Structure 1
Amino acid sequence: MADFLAHAGIPAAVTDQALAIDAILQQWRRRVGKRELGRMALAELGLDIDLPKLDVLIATWAPSNEFGADKGETMVSTIATRLCIDPSRASRLVSELINQGLLARGVSQQDARRTIVELTEKGLATVDAVRTIKFLILGDYLKGWTEAEIDTFLPLLERFSSWSEEAADKGQTLLAPTIAELRAKLQKLSQ
Protein backbone atom coordinates (compact mmCIF):
# COMPACT_ATOMS: atom_id res chain seq x y z
CA MET A 1 0.00 0.00 0.00
CA ALA A 2 2.81 2.40 0.84
CA ASP A 3 4.15 2.13 -2.72
CA PHE A 4 0.73 2.80 -4.22
CA LEU A 5 0.19 5.80 -1.94
CA ALA A 6 3.65 7.12 -2.84
CA HIS A 7 2.67 6.73 -6.52
CA ALA A 8 -0.43 8.83 -5.72
CA GLY A 9 1.75 11.57 -4.23
CA ILE A 10 1.36 10.73 -0.54
CA PRO A 11 4.72 10.96 1.29
CA ALA A 12 5.81 7.88 3.27
CA ALA A 13 5.77 9.80 6.56
CA VAL A 14 2.17 10.88 5.93
CA THR A 15 1.23 7.27 5.11
CA ASP A 16 2.70 6.15 8.44
CA GLN A 17 0.80 8.92 10.24
CA ALA A 18 -2.44 8.02 8.44
CA LEU A 19 -2.06 4.38 9.46
CA ALA A 20 -1.46 5.38 13.10
CA ILE A 21 -4.48 7.71 13.09
CA ASP A 22 -6.63 5.02 11.47
CA ALA A 23 -5.67 2.46 14.11
CA ILE A 24 -6.66 4.87 16.90
CA LEU A 25 -9.92 5.76 15.14
CA GLN A 26 -10.85 2.11 14.60
CA GLN A 27 -10.32 1.36 18.29
CA TRP A 28 -12.31 4.47 19.22
CA ARG A 29 -15.10 3.59 16.75
CA ARG A 30 -15.50 0.15 18.30
CA ARG A 31 -15.70 1.62 21.81
CA VAL A 32 -18.05 4.39 20.77
CA GLY A 33 -20.13 1.84 18.84
CA LYS A 34 -20.68 -0.04 22.09
CA ARG A 35 -21.83 3.25 23.65
CA GLU A 36 -20.43 2.21 27.00
CA LEU A 37 -21.03 5.55 28.72
CA GLY A 38 -24.64 5.79 27.57
CA ARG A 39 -25.37 2.24 28.69
CA MET A 40 -23.69 2.90 32.02
CA ALA A 41 -25.69 6.11 32.56
CA LEU A 42 -29.00 4.38 31.78
CA ALA A 43 -28.14 1.50 34.13
CA GLU A 44 -26.88 3.76 36.95
CA LEU A 45 -30.04 5.86 36.76
CA GLY A 46 -32.28 2.78 36.62
CA LEU A 47 -33.98 4.01 33.45
CA ASP A 48 -36.23 1.67 31.50
CA ILE A 49 -35.17 2.89 28.06
CA ASP A 50 -32.57 1.81 25.54
CA LEU A 51 -30.04 3.92 23.67
CA PRO A 52 -32.17 4.52 20.53
CA LYS A 53 -34.91 5.94 22.75
CA LEU A 54 -32.37 8.08 24.57
CA ASP A 55 -31.23 9.38 21.18
CA VAL A 56 -34.82 10.36 20.35
CA LEU A 57 -35.18 12.20 23.67
CA ILE A 58 -31.97 14.11 23.05
CA ALA A 59 -32.94 14.86 19.42
CA THR A 60 -36.28 16.19 20.69
CA TRP A 61 -34.52 18.42 23.19
CA ALA A 62 -31.95 19.27 20.47
CA PRO A 63 -28.97 20.84 22.21
CA SER A 64 -27.56 23.54 19.96
CA ASN A 65 -23.98 22.34 20.43
CA GLU A 66 -24.99 19.06 18.77
CA PHE A 67 -27.79 19.95 16.35
CA GLY A 68 -27.19 23.62 15.54
CA ALA A 69 -29.09 26.73 16.48
CA ASP A 70 -32.44 25.66 14.96
CA LYS A 71 -34.80 25.50 17.93
CA GLY A 72 -37.99 25.37 15.87
CA GLU A 73 -40.82 23.01 16.61
CA THR A 74 -39.89 19.35 16.67
CA MET A 75 -41.91 16.88 14.63
CA VAL A 76 -41.29 13.18 14.06
CA SER A 77 -39.71 14.08 10.71
CA THR A 78 -37.38 16.51 12.51
CA ILE A 79 -36.24 13.73 14.84
CA ALA A 80 -35.70 11.36 11.90
CA THR A 81 -33.59 14.00 10.13
CA ARG A 82 -31.56 14.86 13.22
CA LEU A 83 -30.76 11.19 13.88
CA CYS A 84 -30.45 10.12 10.23
CA ILE A 85 -33.00 7.35 10.72
CA ASP A 86 -36.05 6.24 8.77
CA PRO A 87 -39.18 8.30 9.59
CA SER A 88 -41.16 5.12 10.35
CA ARG A 89 -38.55 4.09 12.93
CA ALA A 90 -38.61 7.56 14.44
CA SER A 91 -42.41 7.40 14.61
CA ARG A 92 -42.34 4.01 16.37
CA LEU A 93 -39.76 5.20 18.92
CA VAL A 94 -41.72 8.41 19.56
CA SER A 95 -44.91 6.39 20.14
CA GLU A 96 -43.12 4.13 22.62
CA LEU A 97 -41.69 7.13 24.47
CA ILE A 98 -45.14 8.72 24.62
CA ASN A 99 -46.46 5.49 26.16
CA GLN A 100 -43.65 5.67 28.73
CA GLY A 101 -44.56 9.26 29.62
CA LEU A 102 -41.29 10.75 28.37
CA LEU A 103 -42.69 12.52 25.31
CA ALA A 104 -46.03 14.12 24.52
CA ARG A 105 -47.71 15.16 21.30
CA GLY A 106 -48.66 18.78 20.94
CA VAL A 107 -50.20 21.13 18.40
CA SER A 108 -47.96 23.39 16.38
CA GLN A 109 -48.24 27.09 17.14
CA GLN A 110 -47.23 27.76 13.52
CA ASP A 111 -49.69 25.40 11.83
CA ALA A 112 -52.52 23.83 13.82
CA ARG A 113 -52.65 20.92 11.35
CA ARG A 114 -49.16 19.78 12.39
CA THR A 115 -48.41 17.58 15.36
CA ILE A 116 -45.26 18.34 17.28
CA VAL A 117 -43.33 16.27 19.82
CA GLU A 118 -42.28 17.67 23.16
CA LEU A 119 -40.42 16.36 26.19
CA THR A 120 -42.53 15.82 29.28
CA GLU A 121 -41.17 16.85 32.66
CA LYS A 122 -40.02 13.24 33.13
CA GLY A 123 -38.43 13.24 29.66
CA LEU A 124 -36.55 16.47 30.33
CA ALA A 125 -35.35 15.16 33.71
CA THR A 126 -34.13 11.98 31.95
CA VAL A 127 -32.17 13.93 29.34
CA ASP A 128 -30.73 16.21 31.99
CA ALA A 129 -29.64 13.32 34.23
CA VAL A 130 -27.97 11.35 31.42
CA ARG A 131 -26.18 14.42 30.04
CA THR A 132 -25.06 15.38 33.55
CA ILE A 133 -23.42 11.97 34.00
CA LYS A 134 -21.79 12.27 30.57
CA PHE A 135 -20.32 15.68 31.36
CA LEU A 136 -19.30 14.65 34.87
CA ILE A 137 -17.22 11.86 33.34
CA LEU A 138 -15.87 13.98 30.47
CA GLY A 139 -15.16 16.90 32.79
CA ASP A 140 -13.38 14.65 35.25
CA TYR A 141 -11.22 13.32 32.42
CA LEU A 142 -10.47 16.74 30.92
CA LYS A 143 -9.59 18.38 34.23
CA GLY A 144 -6.23 16.61 33.89
CA TRP A 145 -5.55 18.48 30.64
CA THR A 146 -3.94 21.88 30.57
CA GLU A 147 -5.80 24.82 29.08
CA ALA A 148 -3.21 24.93 26.30
CA GLU A 149 -3.83 21.25 25.47
CA ILE A 150 -7.58 21.81 25.22
CA ASP A 151 -7.10 25.02 23.23
CA THR A 152 -4.94 23.06 20.79
CA PHE A 153 -7.11 19.94 20.70
CA LEU A 154 -10.56 21.46 20.08
CA PRO A 155 -9.84 23.26 16.79
CA LEU A 156 -7.81 20.31 15.54
CA LEU A 157 -10.59 17.86 16.41
CA GLU A 158 -13.15 20.08 14.71
CA ARG A 159 -10.93 20.36 11.64
CA PHE A 160 -10.25 16.62 11.59
CA SER A 161 -13.93 15.72 12.02
CA SER A 162 -14.65 16.98 8.50
CA TRP A 163 -11.91 14.97 6.78
CA SER A 164 -14.23 12.33 5.36
CA GLU A 165 -16.49 14.94 3.74
CA GLU A 166 -13.49 16.70 2.23
CA ALA A 167 -12.01 13.36 1.17
CA ALA A 168 -15.24 12.41 -0.59
CA ASP A 169 -15.11 15.66 -2.56
CA LYS A 170 -11.46 15.07 -3.46
CA GLY A 171 -12.26 11.46 -4.37
CA GLN A 172 -14.51 12.81 -7.07
CA THR A 173 -11.85 15.16 -8.42
CA LEU A 174 -8.17 15.10 -7.52
CA LEU A 175 -7.92 11.44 -6.59
CA ALA A 176 -10.22 10.14 -9.32
CA PRO A 177 -7.42 8.79 -11.56
CA THR A 178 -5.83 6.91 -8.67
CA ILE A 179 -9.18 5.50 -7.59
CA ALA A 180 -9.82 4.47 -11.20
CA GLU A 181 -6.56 2.49 -11.11
CA LEU A 182 -7.75 0.62 -8.01
CA ARG A 183 -11.14 -0.05 -9.59
CA ALA A 184 -9.52 -1.39 -12.78
CA LYS A 185 -7.27 -3.68 -10.73
CA LEU A 186 -10.26 -5.10 -8.85
CA GLN A 187 -12.27 -5.53 -12.02
CA LYS A 188 -9.39 -7.38 -13.65
CA LEU A 189 -9.22 -9.75 -10.66
CA SER A 190 -12.98 -10.35 -10.86
CA GLN A 191 -12.81 -11.57 -14.46
Structure 2
Amino acid sequence: MPDKDARIRDHLRRAGIDDASAQAAIEIDVALQKWRRRVMKRELGQRALADLGLSIDLAQLDVLLAVRAPEGEFDDAGPCGEDAETMVSTVAARLRIDPSRASRIASELIRMGLIRRAVSQQDARRTVLELTPAGGEIVSAVRAYKFLVLGSFLKDWSAEEIALFLPLLDRFSAWSDRAGQHSPEVAERISDLRAALASLPMDGAD
Protein backbone atom coordinates (compact mmCIF):
# COMPACT_ATOMS: atom_id res chain seq x y z
CA MET A 1 0.00 0.00 0.00
CA PRO A 2 1.46 3.38 -0.97
CA ASP A 3 2.37 5.74 1.84
CA LYS A 4 0.04 8.73 1.38
CA ASP A 5 2.14 10.74 3.81
CA ALA A 6 5.50 10.03 2.15
CA ARG A 7 5.92 13.62 0.98
CA ILE A 8 5.04 14.92 4.43
CA ARG A 9 7.57 12.58 6.01
CA ASP A 10 10.17 13.85 3.55
CA HIS A 11 9.46 17.48 4.50
CA LEU A 12 9.82 16.60 8.19
CA ARG A 13 13.00 14.63 7.61
CA ARG A 14 14.54 17.54 5.69
CA ALA A 15 13.58 19.84 8.58
CA GLY A 16 15.57 17.67 10.97
CA ILE A 17 12.61 15.84 12.48
CA ASP A 18 13.35 12.15 12.98
CA ASP A 19 11.08 9.42 11.64
CA ALA A 20 9.77 8.43 15.08
CA SER A 21 8.71 12.01 15.85
CA ALA A 22 7.17 12.33 12.39
CA GLN A 23 5.14 9.14 12.88
CA ALA A 24 4.05 10.30 16.34
CA ALA A 25 2.92 13.64 14.91
CA ILE A 26 0.86 11.89 12.22
CA GLU A 27 -0.76 9.47 14.68
CA ILE A 28 -1.52 12.23 17.19
CA ASP A 29 -3.10 14.31 14.43
CA VAL A 30 -5.35 11.38 13.47
CA ALA A 31 -6.56 11.11 17.06
CA LEU A 32 -7.03 14.89 17.34
CA GLN A 33 -9.02 15.11 14.11
CA LYS A 34 -11.39 12.38 15.30
CA TRP A 35 -11.71 14.16 18.66
CA ARG A 36 -12.26 17.53 16.97
CA ARG A 37 -15.15 16.20 14.91
CA ARG A 38 -16.80 14.80 18.02
CA VAL A 39 -16.20 18.01 19.95
CA MET A 40 -17.55 20.14 17.10
CA LYS A 41 -20.75 18.10 17.22
CA ARG A 42 -20.88 18.73 20.99
CA GLU A 43 -21.97 15.15 21.56
CA LEU A 44 -21.50 15.20 25.34
CA GLY A 45 -23.30 18.51 25.72
CA GLN A 46 -26.20 17.35 23.57
CA ARG A 47 -26.53 14.16 25.60
CA ALA A 48 -26.41 16.11 28.86
CA LEU A 49 -29.25 18.40 27.80
CA ALA A 50 -31.32 15.46 26.57
CA ASP A 51 -30.68 13.17 29.56
CA LEU A 52 -31.38 15.97 32.04
CA GLY A 53 -34.56 17.01 30.23
CA LEU A 54 -33.42 20.59 29.74
CA SER A 55 -35.12 22.81 27.15
CA ILE A 56 -32.17 25.09 26.50
CA ASP A 57 -29.71 24.87 23.63
CA LEU A 58 -25.93 24.62 23.73
CA ALA A 59 -25.37 28.31 23.06
CA GLN A 60 -27.56 29.18 26.04
CA LEU A 61 -25.73 26.63 28.17
CA ASP A 62 -22.40 28.18 27.17
CA VAL A 63 -23.57 31.60 28.35
CA LEU A 64 -24.79 30.16 31.65
CA LEU A 65 -21.37 28.59 32.13
CA ALA A 66 -19.63 31.84 31.20
CA VAL A 67 -21.65 33.70 33.82
CA ARG A 68 -20.89 31.04 36.42
CA ALA A 69 -17.23 30.89 35.27
CA PRO A 70 -16.06 27.66 36.94
CA GLU A 71 -12.58 28.07 38.40
CA GLY A 72 -9.83 27.78 35.83
CA GLU A 73 -12.16 27.37 32.87
CA PHE A 74 -11.87 30.91 31.55
CA ASP A 75 -8.59 31.97 33.15
CA ASP A 76 -7.35 33.74 30.01
CA ALA A 77 -10.32 36.12 29.76
CA GLY A 78 -10.19 38.12 32.96
CA PRO A 79 -10.83 37.42 36.64
CA CYS A 80 -13.28 34.65 37.44
CA GLY A 81 -13.10 34.43 41.22
CA GLU A 82 -15.96 34.61 43.65
CA ASP A 83 -15.72 38.42 43.78
CA ALA A 84 -15.45 38.89 40.01
CA GLU A 85 -18.38 40.53 38.28
CA THR A 86 -19.68 39.42 34.90
CA MET A 87 -20.97 41.77 32.24
CA VAL A 88 -22.15 40.99 28.72
CA SER A 89 -18.70 42.00 27.47
CA THR A 90 -17.17 39.52 29.94
CA VAL A 91 -19.34 36.73 28.56
CA ALA A 92 -18.37 37.63 25.00
CA ALA A 93 -14.67 37.59 25.91
CA ARG A 94 -14.91 34.30 27.77
CA LEU A 95 -16.72 32.59 24.90
CA ARG A 96 -14.89 34.49 22.15
CA ILE A 97 -18.15 35.52 20.51
CA ASP A 98 -19.47 38.85 19.27
CA PRO A 99 -20.85 41.06 22.08
CA SER A 100 -24.15 41.44 20.22
CA ARG A 101 -24.57 37.66 20.17
CA ALA A 102 -23.70 37.43 23.85
CA SER A 103 -26.25 40.16 24.61
CA ARG A 104 -28.99 38.43 22.61
CA ILE A 105 -28.48 35.06 24.31
CA ALA A 106 -28.26 36.69 27.74
CA SER A 107 -31.58 38.43 27.08
CA GLU A 108 -33.15 35.09 26.16
CA LEU A 109 -31.92 33.58 29.42
CA ILE A 110 -33.21 36.56 31.39
CA ARG A 111 -36.67 36.02 29.89
CA MET A 112 -36.41 32.35 30.84
CA GLY A 113 -35.58 33.26 34.43
CA LEU A 114 -32.10 31.71 34.36
CA ILE A 115 -30.09 34.95 34.47
CA ARG A 116 -30.86 38.28 36.08
CA ARG A 117 -29.42 41.75 35.75
CA ALA A 118 -27.99 43.38 38.86
CA VAL A 119 -26.19 46.57 39.78
CA SER A 120 -22.43 46.27 40.13
CA GLN A 121 -21.14 46.48 43.67
CA GLN A 122 -17.96 48.02 42.29
CA ASP A 123 -19.53 50.65 40.03
CA ALA A 124 -23.23 51.55 40.43
CA ARG A 125 -23.34 52.77 36.82
CA ARG A 126 -22.58 49.29 35.56
CA THR A 127 -25.01 46.40 35.01
CA VAL A 128 -23.80 42.88 35.69
CA LEU A 129 -25.21 39.42 35.04
CA GLU A 130 -25.91 36.85 37.72
CA LEU A 131 -27.35 33.35 37.64
CA THR A 132 -30.74 32.93 39.26
CA PRO A 133 -31.15 29.93 41.58
CA ALA A 134 -32.66 28.00 38.65
CA GLY A 135 -29.74 28.95 36.39
CA GLY A 136 -27.29 27.91 39.06
CA GLU A 137 -28.98 24.53 39.45
CA ILE A 138 -28.78 23.92 35.71
CA VAL A 139 -25.08 24.71 35.60
CA SER A 140 -24.39 22.50 38.62
CA ALA A 141 -26.39 19.61 37.14
CA VAL A 142 -24.69 19.79 33.73
CA ARG A 143 -21.22 19.96 35.29
CA ALA A 144 -22.07 17.03 37.57
CA TYR A 145 -23.26 15.08 34.51
CA LYS A 146 -19.98 15.79 32.69
CA PHE A 147 -17.84 14.71 35.61
CA LEU A 148 -19.94 11.62 36.24
CA VAL A 149 -19.25 10.56 32.64
CA LEU A 150 -15.56 11.50 32.77
CA GLY A 151 -15.06 10.06 36.25
CA SER A 152 -16.69 6.81 35.19
CA PHE A 153 -14.26 6.61 32.28
CA LEU A 154 -11.20 7.40 34.39
CA LYS A 155 -12.01 5.00 37.22
CA ASP A 156 -10.58 2.17 35.14
CA TRP A 157 -7.24 3.98 34.84
CA SER A 158 -4.52 3.26 37.35
CA ALA A 159 -3.17 6.01 39.60
CA GLU A 160 0.12 5.74 37.72
CA GLU A 161 -1.58 6.24 34.35
CA ILE A 162 -3.42 9.33 35.57
CA ALA A 163 -0.28 10.74 37.20
CA LEU A 164 1.54 10.29 33.88
CA PHE A 165 -1.29 11.51 31.65
CA LEU A 166 -2.23 14.81 33.31
CA PRO A 167 1.15 16.58 33.15
CA LEU A 168 1.70 15.29 29.62
CA LEU A 169 -1.72 16.54 28.54
CA ASP A 170 -0.98 19.94 30.06
CA ARG A 171 2.38 20.02 28.31
CA PHE A 172 0.89 18.93 24.99
CA SER A 173 -1.96 21.45 25.15
CA ALA A 174 0.55 24.24 24.48
CA TRP A 175 1.85 22.79 21.21
CA SER A 176 -0.21 25.08 18.96
CA ASP A 177 1.25 28.13 20.73
CA ARG A 178 4.45 27.39 18.80
CA ALA A 179 2.70 27.64 15.42
CA GLY A 180 4.41 30.97 14.67
CA GLN A 181 7.74 30.13 16.28
CA HIS A 182 9.62 28.12 13.68
CA SER A 183 13.17 26.88 13.71
CA PRO A 184 15.20 27.92 10.64
CA GLU A 185 14.88 24.39 9.22
CA VAL A 186 11.09 24.35 9.59
CA ALA A 187 10.78 27.91 8.27
CA GLU A 188 12.72 26.88 5.16
CA ARG A 189 10.42 23.93 4.51
CA ILE A 190 7.33 26.14 4.98
CA SER A 191 8.80 28.62 2.49
CA ASP A 192 9.24 25.78 -0.01
CA LEU A 193 5.62 24.70 0.50
CA ARG A 194 4.42 28.26 -0.04
CA ALA A 195 6.46 28.60 -3.24
CA ALA A 196 5.12 25.31 -4.58
CA LEU A 197 1.53 26.35 -3.91
CA ALA A 198 2.10 29.75 -5.53
CA SER A 199 3.03 28.03 -8.78
CA LEU A 200 -0.21 26.00 -8.95
CA PRO A 201 -2.69 26.95 -11.71
CA MET A 202 -5.74 28.54 -10.09
CA ASP A 203 -9.16 29.68 -11.30
CA GLY A 204 -9.10 27.27 -14.22
CA ALA A 205 -5.85 28.61 -15.61
CA ASP A 206 -3.78 26.25 -17.79
Q: Could you tell me the TM-score, scaled by structure 1's length?
A: 0.94
> Are residues 1:134 and 2:146 paired?
yes
The structure 2 residue matched to 1:55, chosen from 53, 62, 72, is 62
Give the SS at the match of 2:199.
Answer: helix
Alpha carbons 2:16, 2:185 under 8 Å: kept: no
Q: How far off its partner does 1:107 sit?
A: 0.6
Q: Which among 186, 192, 195 is matched to residue 175 of structure 1? A: 186
Aligned mate of 1:125, from 134, 137, 143: 137
Percent sequence identity over aligned pairs: 57
The residue that corresponds to 1:103 in the other structure is: 115
Secondary structure of the residue aligned to 2:128 is: strand
Name the CA shift for 1:57/1:181 in 2 (closer, same or farther; >3 Å).
Answer: same
Q: Is the 8 A contact 1:101 1:123 kept in 2?
A: yes
| Aligned counterparts of 1:98 and 1:89: Cα–Cα separation in 2 | 14
Give the C-alpha shift of residue 9 in structure 1. Answer: 1.1
Indicate which of 6, 11, 25 corresponds to 2:13: 6
Within a 5 Å distance, the mapping from 1:1-191 to structure 2 comes to 1-68=8-75, 70-71=80-81, 72-166=84-178, 168-171=179-182, 175-190=186-201
What secondary structure sits across from 2:129 in the alignment? strand
Q: How many residues align?
A: 190
Please state whether the residue corresponding to 1:64 is helix, strand or coil.
coil
Name the structure, 1 or 2, with higher relative contact order (CA <8 Å, separation 6+): 2
Paired AA for residue 66 in structure 1: E
Shift of 1:188: 1.3
2: distance between equivalents of 1:85 and 1:174?
37
CA distance in 1, matches of 2:123, 2:182: 43
CA offset digits 1:95-117 (Å, max 9, x no partner): 00101110001111111111100
Q: CA RMSD in A?
A: 1.5
Q: 1:103·1:118 contact (CA, 8 Å) conserved in 2? A: yes
Question: Which shows bigger deviation, 80-89 or 168-177?
Answer: 168-177
Listed as ranges, the gaps of 5+ residues in structure 2 are 1-7
C-alpha contact 1:171 1:179 (8 A) present in aligned 2: no
User: 1:42 touches 1:49 (CA, 8 Å); kept in 2?
Assistant: yes
SS in 1 for 2:72: helix
Residues 50-108 of structure 1 deviation map (CA, whole Å, 9 limit, x = unaligned): 11110100110001131236321000000000011111110111000101110001111
Structure 1 contact 73–116 (Cα < 8 Å) conserved: yes
User: SS in structure 2 opposite 1:116?
Assistant: strand
Find the residue that maps to 1:117 and give its secondary structure: strand
Deviations 1:30-54 (A, max 9, x none): 1111111111111111111111110
C-alpha separation in 2, matches of 1:114 and 1:37 = 36
Alignment partners' CA distance in 2, 1:46 and 1:4: 51
**Structure 1 segments (4+ residues) deviating >4 Å:** none
Please report the TM-score for the alignment, with normalisation by the length of structure 2. Answer: 0.88
Contact 1:61 1:119 in 2 (8 A): yes
